[in-house]
Amino acid sequence: MSSATSAQLFSEPENDHQVMASWERFLNGDEGGADALRRLIDDSWRRCQGASVDPAIYQAPPPIKENSLHSLQTECSELLTASTPVMAAARDFLAETGTVMVLTDQSGTILNLEGDMSTRGAAEDVHLLSGANWSELACGTNAIGTALAVGHAVQIHSAEHYCAGIKRWSCAATVVRDPYDKSILGVVDVSALTESYNRLSLALVLATAGRIENRLAKLELDIRYRLLEECVDRLARRTTDGVIVFDRRGRAIKSNGRSSTIIADLGIDAAADGPEGLSSISLRWNKRKDSPEDLPDWIRREWVEPVIENGEHIGSVLTLPNRRGSMLAGSSRGSLSAASGDAADQRGFEKIIGKSDVLMQAVGRAQQLAKSRVPVLLLGETGVGKDVFARCIHESGASEGAPFVALNCGGFSRELLSSELFGYAEGAFTGARQGGAIGKIEAASGGTLFLDEIGEMPLDLQPHFLRVLEEGEVYRIGENKPRKVNFRLIAATNRDLRKEIQSGGFRMDLFYRVAVTSINIPSLRDRSDDIALLGEYFLTQLSQRHGMPLRTLSPAVLTVLQQHAWPGNIREFRNVMESMLLTSGNTVLDVDDLPPHVLSPLPAASRLPAPSISPSGSVAAGPVADSAPSLTSLENAEREVIVTAIIKHGGNMTAAAREAGIAKSTLYVKLKRFGIDERLKRSGLDGLTRDRQDTAV
């Protein structure tokens, strides 16, 4: 390190009076700086002044609320996992030194603190607390914010701080970088009151950040090993298809021998320095999503399958069908996709499995509506395949290559849903991505926007979305200039929206915009004739996926399956098929191979007809079960799915929410709405415990 660079990194406490005088002159408009003022500090002060940071403030902004902090910590869970043992060691090392160690996220919001808590009172005075933001925009020149601004280690002492109330402090910080793409994940900071200044504090944060980055690299390697272990059979399987394994960041890490040939046949130019020459192929995968974003034009979405281990997305597999072979079978979460056929044949309704009259009526109506661009509302219980119908309508009516963008309105907090739906401008809020972000509405322009669980959309967002539908314009959060959009809307719900209108939870004017036409998708118990076809399809699909011999269903087990209520519909049916396939050694699956909950189901309040919207718009609902508050039959069925999932997983709410296909925060809302607590007590699950902190998953 050169002496000039060293001079920029370290503070010189003996120059404190001269730096203070320079600060006073700077605030008075005197551009002349003292020799004692480092260029690093001068540049930071100018950034703060340009951003109109108030030099008179005496503390950081108040910490964010506890539930928001919990969500942020969940989002940064890997950084916290890697840093926890490192910072725990600092707790003993920093004891009785008057010093604390701080970890923040990439926006400067504090995630965790360790060290000497004797300074707690002074730290609280300046909001050096979990959940507080210490970026330069929030509280001027300080080690955390300035390290983020310049991207390397800094030491800020006393008068060098821009804001008057923080000049009692001396701190050193450096950024923590992703060991793979070198992006900034957060900051490690050591802070103390000025009398505790120590030049070595900078070395401490550098060593700490290095240890955290090493642990992050090890975590990533462990996940890659688990991913390859999950995919080893698929890579080794004899097949004419190409198979490429992507890590959770969307980078190709392994492929079989057929991949390069098929890609070359497709006319794709792949760089030669990756696995088998595929380094230029990548997938953008948001960890809150079930499918990748912005796929290359030559990759069909159904070719990509996530690899999930213990509920965690650890990677994905791309199966490339050769020109003479069959298309990749299946998708996650109970898709109704067909198991074979050329890719071109899979556009439209050919991928729906079944021949029952009620299903064919729904398909026929969907085929008619696909010819127009009017909004469509899909009605049906949880797991019936509303997302599959939406994609079929899109593929049958849209031009080749038109975007299909899906968003679940029940899977996000109000703030996250707003930014996901409308997008945002750079700097619109703390943590906003540099350059801003496009929203799902804009992304769907020219194609189809599919809003699942639209009944869960917060009431205060509904008029903004209604304006988009009426004006054909969208405003990103933080922008005043509208952007033109043109998309087809397909919405879905398992709730009675007219009842929601009466209770004040859904706007009537928005209802009439999204429910121009509607399709009732039948529950699986109403199409028991399709059980045999679905069983054959899923067993074929899952046998291929797991590399196992093909199994068949006995007549006896088919009878039981046809009599089951299927509160989880297609999604539950697929899970049952997979469970039987993986746990039985029999070639012909029989009644003894069924999961216990199918053999001994809960009292089926869900065996009721689903509500429907007639062409005139009136709602016809079945009778309401006595064991719950006044609910529609859709809600009764949804309640049974939730109760079944909770009991099946022994009260584990995270697993139950995953089983039911909803966010955990949504699950807690439905517990209260459906009166499920009392139901669980009568079922003998008195010891149920819950983590009551909501998360947006």
Looking at the structure, tell me whether residues 130 and 50 fall in a common domain. yes
Pairwise pLDDT comparison (235 vs 3), residue with the higher score: 235
pLDDT at 615 > cutoff 60: no
Looking at the structure, tell me whether residues 413 and 494 fall in a common domain. yes
Q: Which two tokens stand for residue 555?
A: 């007549």
Q: What is the mean pLDDT of residues 7-30?
A: 84
Q: What is the pLDDT of residue 489?
A: 95
- Is 335 inside any structural domain? no
Q: In what order do the strands lie in the sheet with 304-309?
A: 252-255, 242-247, 312-320, 304-309
pLDDT at 389 > cutoff 90: yes
Q: How many CA atoms lie within 13 A of 563 on its CB side?
A: 11
DSSP annotation string for 216-231:
HHHHHHHHHHHHHHHH
- Is 694 inside any structural domain? no
Q: What is the mean pLDDT of residues 213-242?
A: 83
pLDDT at 121 > cutoff 70: yes
Q: What is the pLDDT of residue 343?
A: 33
Looking at the structure, tell me whether residues 39 and 152 fall in a common domain. yes
Output the CA torsion sign for 249, 570, 519, 359.
positive
- Is 332 inside any structural domain? no
Looking at the structure, tell me whether residues 529 and 502 fall in a common domain. no
Evaluate whether 230 touches 123 at the Cβ level (below 8 Å). Answer: no
pLDDT at 249 > cutoff 50: yes
Q: Which two tokens stand for residue 153?
A: 């280690």
pLDDT (tens digit, 9 = 90+) per residue, 250-302?
888 888 877 877 777 777 765 544 454 466 677 776 655 556 667 777 788 77
The whole-angstrom separation of Cα 212 and Cα 572 is 41
Q: What is the pLDDT of residue 240?
A: 75
Here the contacts of 196-203 (C-beta below 8 Å, separation 24 or greater) are 196/97, 196/98, 196/99, 196/170, 197/11, 197/13, 197/157, 197/158, 197/170, 198/99, 199/10, 199/155, 201/99, 201/155, 201/170, 201/171, 201/172, 202/9, 202/10, 202/153, 202/155, 202/172, 202/174
Q: What is the pLDDT of residue 33?
A: 59
Q: How many CB atoms lie within 10 A of CB 333?
A: 17
Looking at the structure, tell me whether residues 147 and 13 fall in a common domain. yes
| Confidence band, pLDDT 50/70/90 cuts, at residue 24 | very high
Looking at the structure, tell me whether residues 76 and 113 fall in a common domain. yes
- Is 232 inside any structural domain? no
pLDDT (tens digit, 9 = 90+) per residue, 137-152?
999 999 999 999 999 9
Q: What is the mean pLDDT of residues 506-520?
A: 90
Looking at the structure, tell me whether residues 291 and 243 fall in a common domain. yes
Q: Which two tokens stand for residue 182?
A: 């070198």
- Is 346 inside any structural domain? no
The whole-angstrom separation of Cα 424 and Cα 437 is 5
Q: Give ∠ CA 442-448-454 in degrees, rounded to 5.
A: 85
Pairwise pLDDT comparison (45 vs 181), residue with the higher score: 45
Q: Above pLDDT 70, what percent of the chain? A: 81
Looking at the structure, tell me whether residues 551 and 419 fall in a common domain. no
Mean confidence (pLDDT) of the chain: 80
Return the closest-CA partner of residue 102 out of 119, 221, 688, 308: 119
Q: Dihedrals φ, ψ of 35, to 5°?
A: -60, -25
Evaluate whether 147 touches 64 at the Cβ level (below 8 Å). Answer: no
Q: What is the residue whose two structure tokens read 């959309």? A: 457
Q: What is the residue whose two structure tokens read 């899977």? A: 411
pLDDT at 496 > cutoff 80: yes
Count structural domains, the chain.
Answer: 5
Q: What is the pLDDT of residue 633?
A: 55
Residues 6+ apart with CB under 8 A from 630: 624
Helices (H), 547-652: 555-563, 569-583, 596-599, 633-648
Q: What is the mean pLDDT of residues 595-616?
A: 51
Q: What is the mean pLDDT of residues 686-693?
A: 37
pLDDT (tens digit, 9 = 90+) per residue, 155-187?
999 999 999 999 999 999 999 999 888 899 999
Helix (H), strand (E) at residue 552: strand 552-553
Pairwise pLDDT comparison (402 vs 83), residue with the higher score: 83
3-state secondary structure 56-72: CCCCCCCCCCHHHHHHH
Give me the domain span that covers residue 419.
357-521
Pairwise pLDDT comparison (454 vs 248), residue with the higher score: 454
Q: What is the mean pLDDT of residues 300-326?
A: 76
- pTM higher than 0.75 for the full model? no
- Is 227 inside any structural domain? no
Helices (H), 588-661: 596-599, 633-648, 653-660
